[in-house]
Amino acid sequence: MVSRVIPVDVFDLVIFGGTGDLARRKIIPGLYRRFLANQMPEDSRIIGAARAALTEDAFREQVRAAITEFVPAERQEAAAIDAFLARIAYVAIDATGTNGWATLKAMMRENVVRAFYFSVAPSLFGDIAQRLSDHGIADAWSRIVVEKPFGRDLASAKALNGVLARHFTEAQIYRIDHYLGKETVQNLMAVRFANILFEPLWKAEYVDHVQITVAETVGVNGRGAYYDKSGAMRDMVQNHMMQLLCLIAMEPPYHFDPDAVRDEKLKVIRALKPVSAENIVRGQYAAGEKEGGYLEHSENPASKTESYIALKVNVSNWRWQGVPFYLRTGKRLRARASEIAITFKQPPHAIFDDAKGWHENVLVIRLQPNEGMNLMVMIKEPGPGGMRLMQVPLDMSFAAVLGDQADETPDAYERLIMDVIRGNQTLFMRGDEVEAAWAWTDPIIEGWEARSDRPQVYDPGSSGPEDALMLMHRDGRRWREIKE
Ligand code: NAP
């Protein structure tokens, strides 16, 4: 199968923080892959920007090293890498000072898309926006890409939105949530809104509950100081998991259009009920055989920051009345696995006697690893001996169904960067969405801070704290097994 490539305009992409970890691991390798896919028109440039006084050649060598390290060997073609490097430039610039801004202005060209990626600490977002504007570097067609975290509470998110709004319109601001760039996440919308099959069942009448799991095996490692100020609620739930919940719970937008989609997501966030203490379980991983526990990585030996959280959430609207959404995410868990599972109710009347094999239908949307979808359905167990039932998957593993095409699907970052160049904001968070998400999150965090709750300790390599199991058991349900 030949994949369709939608052309993009000629662009200048300036990466502030071009020498940083995110640029090396995700942004640059992603751009190289899009270059290989002919999505970087001739004349387009990538301009790295950071304080380090590097020559252009020295920065190009850093770019080459990033490709060597983070692009699969079979995609590393010497001639292509050289051609890609010819598009790379560098400017030494200080986000908080005067150095470099005149040089950057002189590098800008007319009649090309100008995109500015803020891959630096959030404390610098305002400084960069201000200087781009003061120096006349950003024009009306320019766009900025802002990394996470977008604030740490409602007040800071509002302040940041305010600073950016002084220099850029909402249509120029791309707040990145790389979960929205994942192929399966977009497929969730395709499955819901391009098929008649699921939407009629997508409501309280037929859905028993929804589980969203984002499980990691890694701990906080060297990021202890940063993570300790954040925790699982701020780092994962307020943004990524909330976005997933929105895509499941939202009403069909009138069109696949940025504001139509984001309007519907915003309605879901606003319909989220406050979460009471008995519906929240927080955890902290203990030391394992080879690795220290959470507290050993934190600068605060008495830290109460959670490396795990499970929540029972209710969406208070007509469609989802009484349907719990169980969310859980954590570090140092049994396996690296992210999935959404929609469990449907059982048929209203059982005509088969075989109670043993009686299970619900479950639609599992797998984000990583092994992206794909699985619909668990009941069939008759083969062979004679009466009507016994068994549950089997209708498997839509993308690798199996799409073959080579699945290997070529862009990863989340490369897709999102190309959307920035095309000017498509559908998969980016709008300012009011982010603020509404914090407005729901803040009281939850304030609640456990006021109660001075300590997270429950859990074993590394486990499924999380015991109390998280109880969160579902007491409702007569259970978590799906965390497995790759
Ligand atoms: P990092 O490795 O610390 O890199 C920071 C970059 O910013 C460096 O290139 C640094 O170069 C530059 N910089 C620092 N101060 C500057 C200044 N005053 N003026 C201009 N440039 C300056 O950080 P990172 O991990 O790449 O993270 C970047 C952003 O992405 C952060 O907002 C982070 O939260 C977000 N993010 C990162 C990841 C990840 O996996 N790394 C994932 C999600 C989100 P110089 O020191 O030479 O100036």
The model carries a pTM of 0.94
Distance CA 129, CA 146 (A): 10
Q: How many Cα neighbours within 13 Å face the side chain of 205?
A: 7
Give the residue, by CA position, lying nearest to ligand 1 atom 1: 20
Say if strands 113-118 and 143-146 run parallel, antiparallel, or are unpaired.
Answer: parallel
Q: How far does the centroid of ligand 1 lie from the alpha carbon of residue 377, in Å?
A: 47
Residue 119 beta carbon below 6 angstroms from any ligand 1 atom: yes
Q: How far does the centroid of ligand 1 lie from the alpha carbon of residue 119, in Å?
A: 5
Distance CA 3, CA 372 (A): 18
Residue 52 beta carbon below 6 angstroms from any ligand 1 atom: yes
Q: How far does the centroid of ligand 1 lie from the alpha carbon of residue 124, in Å?
A: 10
Residue 222 beta carbon below 6 angstroms from any ligand 1 atom: no
Closest by alpha carbon to 364, among 354, 355, 356, 375? Answer: 375
Three-state DSSP state, 462:
strand
For 307, 336, 460, 464, the CA distances from 333, given in Å and listed in that order, are: 10, 7, 6, 7
Give the residue, by CA position, lying nearest to ligand 1 atom 3: 20
160, 226 Cβ separation under 8 angstroms: no
Q: How far does the centroid of ligand 1 lie from the alpha carbon of residue 147, in Å?
A: 10
Residue 17 beta carbon below 6 angstroms from any ligand 1 atom: yes
Residue with tokens 């030391």: 287
Q: Which ligand 1 atom is at minimum distance from the Cα of 19? A: 9
Q: Which residues are catalytic?
A: 240
How far is Cα of residue 80 from the mean position of the Cα atoms in its chain?
A: 30
Q: Name 31's Cβ contacts closer than 8 Å, sequence gap at least 6.
A: 13, 40, 46, 84, 414, 417
Q: Can you read off the two tokens belonging to residue 368?
A: 């990583």
Residue 92 beta carbon below 6 angstroms from any ligand 1 atom: no
**Entry field: residues in the chain:** 484
How far is Cα of residue 356 from the mean position of the Cα atoms in its chain?
A: 38
Q: At residue 288, what is the residue type?
A: G
Please report, in tens digits, the pLDDT of each residue of the chain (484 residues total): 444 556 678 999 999 999 999 999 999 999 999 999 998 998 999 999 999 999 999 999 999 999 999 999 998 999 999 999 999 999 999 999 999 999 999 999 998 999 999 999 999 999 999 999 999 999 888 999 999 999 999 999 999 999 999 999 999 999 999 999 998 888 899 999 999 999 999 999 999 999 999 999 999 988 888 899 999 999 999 999 999 999 999 999 999 999 999 999 999 999 999 999 999 999 999 999 888 999 998 889 899 999 999 999 999 999 999 999 999 999 999 999 999 999 999 888 888 877 666 678 999 999 988 888 999 998 888 888 788 888 898 887 766 766 666 666 678 899 999 999 999 999 999 999 999 999 999 999 999 999 988 999 999 999 999 999 999 999 999 999 999 8
Q: Is the peptide bond before 149 cis (omega within 30 degrees of 0)?
A: yes
Q: Which ligand 1 atom is at minimum distance from the Cα of 149? A: 34
Q: Can you read off the two tokens belonging to residue 276?
A: 């009471």
